[in-house]
Amino acid sequence: MKAFTYKRATTPAEAAAAAARTPGARFIAGGTNLLDLMKLEIETPAHLVDVNSLALDRIEATPDGGLRVGALVRNTDLAADARVRRDYAVLSRALLSGASGQLRNKATTAGNLLQRTRCYYFYDTNMPCNKRQPGSGCSAIGGFSRHHAVVGASEACIATYPGDMAVAMRVLDAQIETVRPDGGMRTIPIADFHRLPGATPHVEHALEPGELITHVKLPRPPGGAQVYRKVRDRSSYAFALVSVAAIVQPDGSGRVALGGVAHKPWRVEAAEQQIRSGARAVADGLLAGARTTEYNAFKIALVQRTLAAVLADTKKA
Ligand SMILES: Cc1cc2nc3c(=O)[nH]c(=O)nc-3n(C[C@H](O)[C@H](O)[C@H](O)COP(=O)(O)OP(=O)(O)OC[C@H]3O[C@@H](n4cnc5c(N)ncnc54)[C@H](O)[C@@H]3O)c2cc1C
Ligand code: SF4
């Protein structure tokens, strides 16, 4: 691991300003992703700003009937919160399908949103990777690509966003609140937070250097039957091959987002108009323009079948 300096911040504004002062600085929260990347020298920050002392570990009710989740709320606590379990079941289920109990005890809401891809070549520093080293090439294109994207990919990168929580937050239309190094605050809809790879796969999200996530806002409860289903190689401690988050209302209208298929949680609002027509029609809309490889072509049928199972589950819920 490369040497780095370390400072514990006490206020969000101080944390953002401190991170912006040192080029290449990173925030550290639970450390469950960042420390692994540092040990492998995939990330080599010169300075770490520890955000664990910021008072951002509460889940508060908002005046419009929603919830405001602090950036440091641990995944375990968010999944177990009685309001989340009752009103945002899709989120609680997505969180509980992720990682392991020990990891969820450390992992934070902000860190989870910002976890990096699990592309094998991104982790193998002997192999070219445009995300790790811009301009070096993509080893997954023409390589082993079982976990890789089938929609929204580019000639530069076919990696997927690996997380579960953000897929549920996408279907819930969550908003991400931040503080910038100059002390200014802004709100980013989750739809605009994660980016597609395009020609710059190393640029993964909408945050500016030094910009700190302070909260995630959940709009008032959407009601309906809420389901999260994750298909993976093992029943625990494995990332999604495909996941589906769905909220379906009694009148048959609804929302659907996919995990494991793109560089960001994948939602196509127009496809949701087809929910009453059945899973195949929704899947066709979600996966329009899909491009597969010999290793990940199975994801098309897997999305269709998982979506069918999820829509059936929403009728039972
Ligand atoms: C073995 C293993 C299995 C896993 N399986 C799953 C899984 O199945 N599903 C799943 O969803 N996840 C899984 N994960 C990922 C895990 O959920 C993430 O590592 C975790 O959520 C990251 O949170 P953290 O607080 O530890 O982040 P950290 O590692 O501390 O930080 C991650 C990134 O977020 C940035 N960051 C942290 N806080 C802020 C902030 N407030 N504002 C701006 N930037 C910030 C950091 O600078 C860093 O770039 C797995 C991880 C491991 C190690
Ligand atoms: S898919 Fe993306 S992360 Fe994986 S090797 Fe290619 S450029 Fe790197």
* Model pLDDT for residues 65-105, shown as the tens digit of each residue: 999 999 999 999 999 999 999 999 999 999 999 999 999 99
- In contact, 286 and 266? CB cutoff 8 Å: yes
Query: Order of strands, edge to edge, in the sheet holding 225-231?
Result: 225-231, 242-248, 254-259
Tokens matching residue 317: 């819920």
Band (pLDDT 50/70/90 cuts) for residue 282 is very high
Most distant pair of Cα atoms in the chain: their distance: 58
- As a dihedral over the C-alpha atoms of residue 10, residue 27, residue 20, residue 116, rounded to 10 degrees, the angle is -160
Band (pLDDT 50/70/90 cuts) for residue 236 is confident
Quick: pLDDT tens for 218-234: 999 999 999 999 999 99
What average pLDDT does the segment 160-169 reach?
98
What integer pLDDT is reported at residue 316 of this predicted model? 87
Quick: pLDDT tens for 168-202: 999 999 999 999 999 999 999 999 999 999 999 99
What average pLDDT does the segment 9-34 reach?
96
The values of phi and psi at residue 229, to 5°, are -130, 130
Q: How far away, in angstroms, is 129 Cα from ligand 2 center?
A: 5
Q: How far away, in angstroms, is 157 Cα from ligand 2 center?
A: 5
Q: How far apart are CA 225 and CA 211, in angstroms?
A: 35
Q: How far apart are CA 90 and CA 171, in angstroms?
A: 9
Band (pLDDT 50/70/90 cuts) for residue 235 is confident
In this structure, what DSSP letter does residue 105 have? H
Q: How far away, in angstroms, is 107 Cα from ligand 1 center?
A: 6
In this structure, what DSSP letter does residue 127 have? S
Tokens matching residue 131: 């995300």
- Our answer on whether the CB atom of 167 is closer than 6 Å to any ligand 1 atom is no
Residue nearest to atom 36 of ligand 1 (CA): 111
Tokens matching residue 260: 């494991």
- Our answer on whether the CB atom of 260 is closer than 6 Å to any ligand 1 atom is no
Tokens matching residue 92: 């609680």
Listed residue (43, 32, 286) closest to 149, CA to CA: 286
Which atom of ligand 1 lies nearest, measured to the CA of 45?
Answer: 47
**CA 126 to the chain's CA centroid:** 27
Which listed ligand is nearest to 116 at the C-alpha?
A: 1
Residue nearest to atom 6 of ligand 2 (CA): 138
